[in-house]
Chains A and B, each alone.
Chain A
Amino acid sequence: MNTIELRDLCKSFGKNQVLKNIDLQLKSGEVTALMGPNGSGKTTLLKSILGLVIPDSGKILVNNADVKNDFHYRNLIGYMPQIANYPENMKVRELFAIVKDLRGHKEITDDELIDNFKLNEITGKNFGQLSGGYKQRVTGALAFLYHPEIMILDEPTASLDPLSSEIMRNKILKEKQKDKIIIISSHIASEVETLADRLIYILDGKIIINKTLKELKNGSQELKLGKTLTEILAPVLHNKKS
Chain B
Amino acid sequence: MNTKILKYILLDLLRSKFIISYTLFLFLMSMSVIYIGHDSSKAAVSILNIILFVVPLVCIIFGTIHFYNSREFIEFLLTQPVARKSIFWSEYLGISGSLSAAFIIGAGVPVISAGINITGVYLLVTGTMLTFIFVSLAFLSSTINNDKVRGVGLSIILWLYLSVIFDGFVMMIFYMFRDYPLDKYIVALTSLNPVDLSRILILLQIDISALMGFTGATFQKFFGSITGKFISLMLLLLWIVIPAFISLRIFNRKNF
| CA A17 to CA B186, docked complex, whole Å | 49
**A-B contacts, CB under 8 A, total:** 79
- Asked whether A81 and B75 contact (CB < 8 A) given A13-B255, A53-B256, A94-B8, the answer is yes
| CA A79 to CA B72, docked complex, whole Å | 13
Q: How large is the interface on B (under 10, 10 to 19, 20 to 34, 35 or more residues)?
A: 20 to 34
Q: Contact: A89 with B80, CB < 8 Å?
A: no
Q: Is B84 an interface residue (CB 8 A)?
A: yes
| Residue on B nearest A75 in the bound complex, by CB | B81
Contacts of B8 in A (CB 8 A): 90, 94-95, 97-98
**Stretch of B11-19, B28-36, B194-202 on the interface side:** B11-19
Q: Mark A92-120, 1 if CB is under 8 A from B, else 0.
A: 00110111011100000000000000000
Q: Contact: B72 with A74, CB < 8 Å?
A: no
Q: Contact: A103 with B80, CB < 8 Å?
A: yes
Contacts of B73 in A (CB 8 A): 85-87
Q: Contact: B78 with A102, CB < 8 Å?
A: no
- The total of chain A residues at the interface (CB under 8 A) is 32
Q: Is B4 an interface residue (CB 8 A)?
A: yes
- CB of B249, distance to nearest CB on chain A (Å): 13
Q: Is A182 an interface residue (CB 8 A)?
A: no
Interface residues of A in 46-103 (CB under 8 A from B): 47, 50-54, 71-75, 77, 79, 81, 83-90, 94-95, 97-99, 101-103
Contacts of B255 in A (CB 8 A): 13, 47, 52-54
Contact of A71 among B13, B76, B83, B254 (CB under 8 A): B83
| Residue on B nearest A90 in the bound complex, by CB | B12
| CA A81 to CA B77, docked complex, whole Å | 12
Residues of chain B at the chain A interface (Cβ within 8 Å):
2, 4-5, 8-9, 11-13, 15-16, 70-73, 75-84, 253-256
* Subset of 5 A-B contacts with CB under 8 Å: A50-B78, A87-B13, A89-B13, A97-B8, A139-B76
Residues of chain A at the chain B interface (Cβ within 8 Å):
13, 47, 50-54, 71-75, 77, 79, 81, 83-90, 94-95, 97-99, 101-103, 139
